[in-house]
Amino acid sequence: MIAKYCRSLNKSRRGLSRIAAIVVAASAILPAIPALAQNKPIRIGFAMSVTGGLAAAGKSAVVASNIWRDNVNAAGGLLGRQVELVTYDDQSNPALVPAIYTKLLDIDKVDLILSGYATNQIAPAMPIAVQRKKLMLALHGLGNNEEIRYDRYFHVVPYGPSPKKDWLADFWKLIEGITPKPTTIGFVVADAEFAQNSIGSVRALAKSNGFKVVYDQSYPMSTVDMSSIVRGLKAADPEVVMVFTYPQHSTAFIRSVSEVGLGPNAKLVGGGMVGMQFANALQALGPALNGFVTFHFYVPGPTMDRPSTTAFLKIYQAAAEKEGVDPLGFYIPTFAYARLEVLQKAIEATGSLDEGKLADYLRATPVETVVGKVAFGPTGERLERGAIFVQYRGITDAGGLDQFKRAGTQVIVSPKALASGSLVVPFSAARK
């Protein structure tokens, strides 16, 4: 019995020795498991319009975002991890956006999300961000958070702390500066979130300033031909025409004005025309742009010179030439890059991907970027108002795209602090 017990004990000891050896080996391996998890890339996901009506903007945003990714990864990544961007084409269709963000979060398991480009594309992503408590860094959305007031939303483009009423303030000053003061106004408004978010405050301003609204026309996003709208404007003959259009409609509107004309009383035409900031529209329209006024955030000229922006644009323009996207990059790319700088600096400062900590940091801390210092207000909007209004002048067919790379064809007429020239009125004189 004793011998049997000893044999059993010896077997047990040998077994224990083997187990101990396995445990020792495992102890050497197991610390590597969290290290492997830590070294997985940080995945940042977003929808972007690379086809459809917003493609000119979307493609340039992707190129700018990839420049940031490559710069960060070359410098060692974030938190010791490389960065991966996961993007899907929303085809400029807001209806596709919710499914894209659900896939990014549930299937791709991204760590962080960004918005797509434009108010219409941001709006359908917001409920998902709120429900999942995700940080949302937005790109060119007008008033997407004014009513929701989500505390993890941040918008890097300076439409002002109350965008719906702030962003057109300097355009309205142009109207007030016309002599004699105009008394009639007309509106052309896309049936889309950006335009509808803009028009409410403008109608209120017109009413409070005693303007007579002689034309007020909304149109569906499916509209292709704007000539009937332009004919209606010509017949109503307002002195001020405020236009809130998306890229394809801006181009169609300008071409229709060239063909049909406007009434003899037209003094100021434009305001919220999206698309005129992109190189493809500038090339396609050429001299037809003369006289129109629209918003922008950067054009070449001494009043807008910022070394960080200039340096970035050189890098972007070299990449854009290779990728065949917007070769100027004045409108979208700088902000697409800047919002990732904002995210990067929040991650580095907090040493974390915790989205509550990142949001707390961004609410409290201004961040230096390629577009200057970015500081956010209570609703995540920029504290400063940065829209400029430019009047297109002296554009020729022979000048090609090069004429937009220098000062003179996109004259800043408002605000006064950045102005490179004065508004030319009436509209017919500025067309020459």
Look at residue 20 and tell me whether its pLDDT is greater than 50.
no
Mean predicted confidence (pLDDT) in 6-30: 39
Mean predicted confidence (pLDDT) in 339-345: 98
Cα–Cα–Cα angle for 383, 168, 271, nearest 5°?
A: 140
The whole-model pTM stands at 0.89
136 or 22: which leads in pLDDT: 136
Instruction: State the pLDDT confidence band at 17, using cuts at 50, 70 and 90.
Output: very low
Task: Look over the chain and give the mean of its residue pLDDT values, rounded to a whole number.
Answer: 92
Calculate the alpha carbon distances from 229 to 208, 218, 239 in Å: 26, 9, 16
Instruction: Give burial (CB, 10 Å; 0-12/13-18/19+) of 193.
Output: buried
Look at residue 5 and tell me whether its pLDDT is greater than 80.
no
Q: What pLDDT is stored for residue 9 in this prediction?
A: 34
Mean predicted confidence (pLDDT) in 44-70: 97
Instruction: State the pLDDT confidence band at 394, using cuts at 50, 70 and 90.
Output: very high
What is the percent of the chain with per-residue pLDDT over 70, rounded to a whole number? Answer: 91
**Least confident stretch, 24-38, 58-72, 165-179, 414-428:** 24-38
Phi/psi region, residue 376 (left: phi>0; alpha: psi -120 to 50; beta: rest), is beta
For residue range 127-179, what is the model confidence (pLDDT) as tens digits?
Answer: 999 999 999 999 999 999 999 999 999 999 999 999 998 999 999 999 999 99
Q: What pLDDT is stored for residue 38 in this prediction?
A: 60
Q: What pLDDT is stored for residue 26 in this prediction?
A: 36
1 or 411: which leads in pLDDT: 411
Mean predicted confidence (pLDDT) in 81-93: 98
392, 268 Cβ separation under 8 angstroms: no
Q: How far apart are CA 210 and CA 244, in angstroms?
A: 21
Look at residue 422 and tell me whether its pLDDT is greater than 80.
yes
Q: What pLDDT is stored for residue 39 in this prediction?
A: 84
Look at residue 37 and tell me whether its pLDDT is greater than 60.
no
Q: How far apart are CA 324 and CA 233, in angstroms?
A: 37
Mean predicted confidence (pLDDT) in 355-365: 98
**Least confident stretch, 25-29, 227-231, 262-266:** 25-29
Q: What pLDDT is stored for residue 31 in this prediction?
A: 44
DSSP class of 323 = H
Q: What pLDDT is stored for residue 16 in this prediction?
A: 35
305, 372 Cβ separation under 8 angstroms: no
Calculate the alpha carbon distances from 328 to 173, 310, 370, 424 in Å: 29, 11, 16, 26
For residue range 283-337, what is the model confidence (pLDDT) as tens digits?
Answer: 999 999 999 999 999 999 999 999 999 999 999 999 999 999 999 999 999 999 9
What is the percent of the chain with per-residue pLDDT over 90, rounded to a whole number? Answer: 90
Mean predicted confidence (pLDDT) in 62-76: 98
Mean predicted confidence (pLDDT) in 236-260: 97
